[in-house]
């Protein structure tokens, strides 16, 4: 697993999948690059513009990704150059979808992170370094099954590699 | 010796399908009895199967795709996605339910693809609906769906279970929708995240199958993985003639371990409304009565069933909706549409001023019709009122029962259905 560095873009609690990518776009096509410009649009119309050039961490409160099962949600975040989502907790379908598509998700105390903070996330060690504040935030590692899927690059790659579930 | 406690419905079904004595917190790889996808999620599942290099399904008879979310297609992009689904079903031999058949969550049980005791996954978050039929059913994403279509298996974390018991007697004008909105208001949109809910008690026993499905449908709105009920004589009677499979009802053990137990006396619960833009922003209807509305929606996988159309028809029969209000009705399936027609409810509703759209998801998800205008309030029987949900982020969605929607469209404002029923 890897170490990721980028700036934090912070939002609130209970961010639903319609905010991440509205239903009115998800049905227009299966082209995630084209859809990514609408990521988080209803909450922050400039999300794509801000995050895509340098990459960033989407930082949120509790229950990130509640609502629909649309896998377009983690996919548009990946295609908008979101390196990982850091939240106090996640809705379960979004959490699975993120792992399956290869978007790292980190459960941690995001009260210790402000918008604009420069972070390094070490997924193996389970430590976030907040360079702006000079602090470290530990987080629990993923359960082995999920860590294995993420390490393989998602569920599709896992299936290609093993010809089925090998967990 | 330490006594090993009994099991919940979730623990039993996941144990039976994994061959492991599974307990809450365990991760198991289990055999699934059925896999479903809809038109918003199937194209990505098909793409995932292609990337995996998978050419055939584990069992084409245990997979179905449903075109319900944007149906019939409003634009060429959607038409292309529908073509991908139709071609896939022809190639693999799995069932397709094409435009006008209905909402996936009505069709899968209606056509007997699942029976009590089954484990199924669907690429749609409201797959939890069949928990009302004693099926452990849960929503997954497209890639999980693809893995299940390819292998007949999926990994599951066995959820811990919250037990909700309803006692007392439902008052006139109060329905199962009000109970689940009330629960959402009490425990919040993440009140049961990562957990299953079991619904028990005499109030559940007394509900029809249609009404029970409304409650399980919205289990995901409080974060739950499944919303389970026992199978009783009503459940088994409902399945008669629908499925060649034998139901294997699963009851929780009396000494099963629950992480939380909530009991509500429903005698004191009135009609409930979820206000914009969150499903747990719930008030008793008295607090929002009088709010002007421009559009009513009757339908969806939450409340588009026969009983729901009957409740609305009984209120609107011989009356006219307010001239400044639209009422859009989307029956949950073609079968329900025909049954409602034969019962006269369709005429009742159209005479009152309602507009019928294709059986399916209707205006709920904002993808093809019934999009509200800027600043408009909508009263809907759907399950979600997120900002932008119906296709316009400047509209405001209020959720209530079919009776509340019917009473409200009569006056062009939110009205307590007990006023028109008395």
Q: What is the pLDDT of residues B172-190, one digit of tens each?
A: 999 999 999 999 999 999 9
**Residues 6 or more apart whose Cβ sits within 8 Å of residue A163:** none
DSSP letters of B150-195?
HHSEEEEEPPPEEEEEEES-PPTT--HHHHHHHHHHHH-TTTTTT-
Q: Does A81 touch chain B (CB under 8 A)?
A: no
Q: How far apart are CA B299 and CA B316, in angstroms?
A: 15
Architecture of B161-268 per CATH? 2-Layer Sandwich (3.30)
Asked if ipTM goes beyond 0.90, one says yes
pLDDT of residue A167: 83
Average pLDDT over residues B388-413: 97
Q: How far is CA B327 from CA A12, B127, B390, B412, in A?
A: 35, 27, 15, 10
Question: Which of chain A's residues have a Cβ under 8 Å away from the Cβ of B143?
Answer: 71, 97, 100-101, 154-156
B159 CA to chain A: closest CA distance, Å?
Answer: 11
Interface mutation target, options B127, B143, B160, chain A, most CBs of A under 10 Å: B143
- Residue B397 tokens read as 């969605």
- The DSSP secondary-structure symbol of B261 reads E
Average pLDDT over residues B336-351: 98
pLDDT of residue A30: 73
Residue A2's pLDDT band (boundaries 50, 70, 90)? confident
Average pLDDT over residues B208-231: 98
- Please, what is the average pLDDT of chain A? 94
Residue B277: asked if its preceding bond is cis (omega within 30°), the reply is yes
- Residue A35 tokens read as 């859809």
Q: Does A129 touch chain B (CB under 8 A)?
A: no
Average pLDDT over residues B259-280: 98
3-state class percentages of chain B: helix first, strand second, coil last, to nearest 5? 40, 20, 40
Of A30-34, B207-211, B240-244, B290-294, where does mean pLDDT reach its minimum? A30-34
| Contact present, B214 and B220 (Cβ < 8 Å) | no
pLDDT of residue B372: 97
pLDDT of residue A27: 67
Radius of gyration of chain B from its Cα atoms, rounded to whole angstroms: 21
Q: How far apart are CA B381 and CA B399, in angstroms?
A: 6
User: B55-112: per-residue pLDDT in tens?
Assistant: 999 999 999 999 999 999 999 999 999 999 999 999 999 999 999 999 999 999 999 9
Residue B351's pLDDT band (boundaries 50, 70, 90)? very high
- Residue A73 tokens read as 């949600």
Q: Tell me whether residues A71 and B141 touch, CB distance under 8 A.
A: yes
Chain Cα centroid distance, residue A95: 9
| Contact present, B346 and B314 (Cβ < 8 Å) | no
Q: Of A16, A69, A143, which has the smallest distance from its Cβ to B140's Cβ? A: A69
Interface mutation target, options A66, A72, A76, A87, chain B, most CBs of B under 10 Å: A66
pLDDT of residue A29: 66
Q: What is the pTM of this model?
A: 0.96
The domain A3-162: what is its CATH number? Answer: 3.20.19.10
pLDDT of residue B2: 61
Q: Is CATH 3.30.499.10 correct for B275-421?
A: yes
* Domain boundaries along the sequence of chain B: 31-157, 161-268, 275-421
% of chain B at pLDDT higher than 90 = 98
Closest C-alpha among B114, B156, B142, B171 to residue B49: B142
Residue A24's pLDDT band (boundaries 50, 70, 90)? confident
User: B277-311: per-residue pLDDT in tens?
Assistant: 999 999 999 999 999 999 999 999 999 999 999 99
Q: Of B140, B157, B223, which has the smallest distance from its Cβ to A91's Cβ? A: B223
| Contact present, A152 and A158 (Cβ < 8 Å) | yes
Average pLDDT over residues A43-60: 97
- Residue B239 tokens read as 């399945």
A48 CA to chain B: closest CA distance, Å?
Answer: 18
Question: Which of chain B's residues have a Cβ under 8 Å away from the Cβ of A159?
Answer: 52, 54, 147, 150
Closest C-alpha among B150, B119, B124 to residue B135: B119
Architecture of B31-157 per CATH? 2-Layer Sandwich (3.30)
* Domain boundaries along the sequence of chain A: 3-162
| Contact present, B294 and B263 (Cβ < 8 Å) | no
Residue A1's pLDDT band (boundaries 50, 70, 90)? low
- To which H or E segment does residue B99 belong? none
pLDDT of residue B1: 53
pLDDT of residue A31: 84
A68 CA to chain B: closest CA distance, Å?
Answer: 5
- Residue A18 tokens read as 């319609």
B31-157 and B275-421 have identical folds: yes
């Amino acid at each position: 697993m890897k170490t990721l560095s980028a700036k934090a873009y912070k939002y609130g609690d209970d961010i639903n999948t319609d905010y991440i990518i509205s239903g009115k776009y998800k049905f227009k096509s299966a082209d995630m690059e084209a859809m990514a410009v609408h990521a988080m649009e209803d909450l922050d119309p400039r999300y794509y513009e801000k995050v895509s050039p340098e990459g960033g961490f989407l930082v949120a409160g509790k229950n990130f990704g509640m609502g629909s099962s649309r896998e377009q949600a983690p996919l548009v975040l990946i295609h908008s150059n979101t390196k990982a989502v850091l939240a106090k907790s996640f809705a379960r379908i979004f959490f699975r979808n993120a792992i399956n598509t290869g978007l790292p998700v980190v459960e941690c105390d995001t009260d210790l992170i402000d918008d604009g903070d420069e972070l390094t996330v070490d997924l193996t060690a389970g430590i976030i370094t907040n360079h702006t504040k000079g602090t470290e935030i530990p987080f629990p590692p993923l359960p082995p099954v999920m860590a294995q899927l993420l390490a393989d690059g998602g569920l599709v790659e896992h299936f290609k590699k093993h010809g089925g579930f090998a967990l | 010796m330490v006594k090993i406690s009994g099991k919940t419905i979730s623990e039993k079904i996941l144990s039976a399908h994994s061959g492991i004595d599974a307990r809450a917190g365990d991760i198991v790889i289990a055999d699934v009895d059925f896999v479903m996808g809809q038109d918003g999620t199937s194209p990505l599942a098909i793409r995932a199967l292609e990337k995996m290099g998978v050419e055939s399904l584990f069992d084409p008879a245990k997979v179905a795709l449903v075109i319900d979310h944007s149906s019939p297609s409003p634009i060429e992009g959607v038409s292309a996605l529908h073509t991908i689904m139709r071609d896939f079903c022809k190639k693999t031999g799995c069932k397709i339910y094409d435009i006008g058949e209905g909402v996936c969550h009505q069709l899968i049980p209606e056509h007997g693809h699942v029976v009590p005791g089954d484990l199924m996954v669907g690429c749609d978050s409201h797959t939890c609906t069949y928990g009302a039929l004693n099926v452990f059913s849960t929503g997954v994403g497209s890639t999980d769906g693809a893995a299940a279509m390819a292998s007949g298996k999926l990994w599951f974390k066995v959820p811990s279970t919250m037990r909700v018991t309803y006692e007392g007697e439902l008052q006139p004008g109060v329905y199962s929708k009000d109970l689940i909105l009330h629960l959402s208001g009490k425990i919040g949109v993440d009140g049961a995240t990562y957990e299953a809910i079991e619904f028990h008690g005499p109030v559940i026993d007394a509900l029809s199958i249609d009404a029970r499905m409304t409650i399980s449908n919205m289990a995901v709105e409080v974060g739950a993985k499944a919303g389970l009920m026992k199978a009783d004589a009503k459940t088994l009677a409902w399945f008669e003639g629908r499925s060649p499979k034998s139901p294997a009802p699963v009851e929780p053990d009396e000494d099963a371990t629950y992480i939380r137990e909530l009991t509500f006396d429903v005698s004191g619960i009135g009609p409930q409304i979820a206000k914009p833009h969150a499903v747990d922003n719930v008030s008793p209807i008295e607090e929002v009565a009088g709010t002007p509305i421009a559009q009513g929606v009757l339908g969806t996988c939450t409340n588009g069933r026969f009983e729901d159309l009957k409740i609305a028809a009984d209120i609107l029969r011989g009356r006219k909706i307010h001239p400044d209000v639209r009422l859009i009705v989307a029956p949950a399936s073609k079968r329900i549409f025909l049954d409602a027609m034969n019962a006269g409810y369709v005429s009742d509703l159209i005479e009152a001023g309602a507009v019928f759209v294709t059986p399916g998801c209707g205006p709920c998800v904002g993808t093809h019709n019934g999009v509200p205008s800027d600043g408009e309030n909508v009263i809907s029987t759907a399950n979600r009122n997120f900002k932008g949900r119906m296709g316009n982020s400047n509209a405001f969605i209020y959720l209530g029962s079919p009776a509340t929607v019917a009473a409200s469209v009569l006056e062009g404002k939110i009205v307590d259905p007990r006023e028109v029923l008395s």
